[in-house]
Amino acid sequence: MNFYTVQITATAEKDLRNIFDYYLYELQERELGLSIIADISESVLGLEQFPYKSPILQEEEFASKEYRKLIIHNFLVFYIVSEEKKQVYVIRLLYGKRNWIELLK
């Protein structure tokens, strides 16, 4: 089985920190925040083995770039796969009810 390397962009890393900070400071739910981050991390690392498990987005502006969307709890992980480089690039991690189309532009 071919494995891919997962690269998390600086923007996605910031998104992950913001998610945890929200649980920690706004909700005062540190343990829940840690649990959510662990679930997101585990799912993202699963892309090493199964990078094509999520379909390409159907929205035209993202389909042309072959963006994919992974759903974890209430969060969306947007990523692209480079078959040539055997890499997965995690672009953004966003709360599912936000206007993700605008945030990805």
Mean pLDDT by 10 residues, the chain (105 residues): 93 98 97 98 98 96 95 97 98 96 90
Can you give the pLDDT at residue 47? 98
**From CA 88, how far away is CA 68, in angstroms rounded?**
10
Can you give the pLDDT at residue 105? 85
> Whole-prediction pTM value?
0.94
User: Judging by DSSP bridges, how do beta strands 87-95 and 5-8 pair with one another?
Assistant: parallel
What CATH code is assigned to 5-104? 3.30.2310.20
Q: Are 43 and 77 in contact (CB under 8 A)?
A: yes
Can you give the pLDDT at residue 2? 81
